[in-house]
């Protein structure tokens, strides 16, 4: 079985406070987008486990990969046999696009399908939350307001249908722990939902990413990319998550040449 774990972008990201457990309470709107990895899990014919990869190089030992951790969690809980896992990476790491979290969530869902496991959505959500703060979002994979440390989700009635997305990954990667250690919580919440639905042209002022000042100071190229996207006519530009990817939303398809950025970029019409 093959699935295609997709990326996400963040419309605004407010860091409310640091918690006693070391995490931070946040508020953000997460939106699924079409940039995707490919994940295959099949039963092991020889009884031996294997994890292979292609595409963007993946660092670390196989058992440290979130896909493998997700499968092992299901294996321990339901007594599953070994499998062969292949992950083709397209979503870059250190970009704020949730690629690893998406891979883990899709591994949970694919394992459930592969072995016809009867597990309710709430239980799968809890398993995803144990793997990472962003993982639960990719279980339902719909536009949602995320709070808590990112695992508390509320579906958000916001459609980006018909808008065009330009997504750029500068040639730098940002460590999420470093980013959290580099900011002071703003304590500011997101605007009310009805304001956002009615006023997309005002999002640049309304939807603030609290990571941007510190991250862009440390990595000026991220600010340069954001300004370049804005100059192309985007009505909203922002860094996704803790960076380094930057995106712009447009009313019509932007005219973009690879030499405009000299780095990875993708565009798509949102549906």
Question: Residue 151 and residue 70: Cα distance in Å, rounded?
Answer: 16
- Beta carbons within 10 angstroms of residue 268's beta carbon: 14
The closest alpha carbon to 16, from 186, 178, 184, 148, belongs to 186
Q: Are 123 and 136 in contact (CB under 8 A)?
A: no
Query: Scanning the structure block, which residue is given the tokens 């990817």?
Result: 245
Is 83 in a helix, a strand, or coil? strand
- Which residue among the candidates 8, 89, 109, 228 is catalytic per the annotation? 8
Q: Tokens at residue 109, please?
A: 């869902």
Judge whether 134 counts as a catalytic residue: yes
Q: Are 203 and 235 in contact (CB under 8 A)?
A: yes
- Torsion, Cα 9 12 18 22, to 10 degrees, reads 0
Judge whether 260 counts as a catalytic residue: no
Q: Are 85 and 52 in contact (CB under 8 A)?
A: yes
Question: Residue 126 and residue 153: Cα distance in Å, rounded?
Answer: 12
Per DSSP, 201 falls in state: G
Q: Is the dihedral of CA 107, 109, 115, 120 positive or negative?
A: positive
| 84 beta partners | 42, 50
- Which residue among the candidates 37, 89, 109, 134 is catalytic per the annotation? 134
- Per 3-state DSSP, the chain is made up of helix, strand and coil in percentages (nearest 5) of 35, 30, 40
Which sequence positions are flagged as catalytic?
Answer: 8, 134
């Amino acid at each position: 079985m093959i699935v295609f774990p997709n990326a996400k972008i963040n419309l605004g990201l407010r860091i409310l406070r640091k918690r006693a457990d070391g995490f931070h309470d946040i508020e953000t709107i997460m939106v699924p987008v079409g940039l995707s990895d490919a994940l295959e899990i099949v039963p092991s014919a020889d009884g031996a486990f294997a994890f292979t990869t292609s595409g963007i190089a993946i660092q670390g030992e196989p058992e440290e990969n979130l896909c493998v951790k997700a499968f092992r969690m299901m294996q321990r809980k339901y007594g599953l046999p070994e499998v062969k896992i292949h992950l083709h990476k397209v979503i870059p790491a250190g970009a704020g696009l949730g690629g690893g979290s998406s891979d883990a969530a899709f591994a949970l869902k694919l394992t459930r399908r592969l072995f016809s496991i009867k597990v309710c959505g709430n239980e799968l959500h809890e398993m995803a939350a144990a793997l990472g703060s962003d993982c639960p979002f990719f279980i339902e994979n719909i536009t949602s307001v995320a709070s808590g440390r990112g695992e508390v989700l509320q579906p958000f009635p916001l459609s980006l249908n018909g808008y065009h997305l330009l997504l750029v990954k500068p040639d730098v990667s940002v460590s999420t722990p470093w980013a959290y250690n580099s900011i002071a919580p703003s304590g500011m919440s997101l605007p009310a939902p009805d304001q956002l639905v009615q006023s997309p042209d005002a999002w640049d002022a309304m939807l603030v990413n609290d990571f941007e000042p510190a991250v862009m100071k440390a990595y000026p190229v991220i600010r340069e990319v954001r300004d370049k996207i804005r100059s192309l006519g985007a009505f909203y530009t922002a860094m996704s998550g803790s960076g380094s990817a930057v995106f712009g939303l447009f009313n019509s398809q932007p005219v973009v040449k690879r030499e405009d950025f000299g780095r990875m970029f993708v565009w798509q019409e949102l549906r």
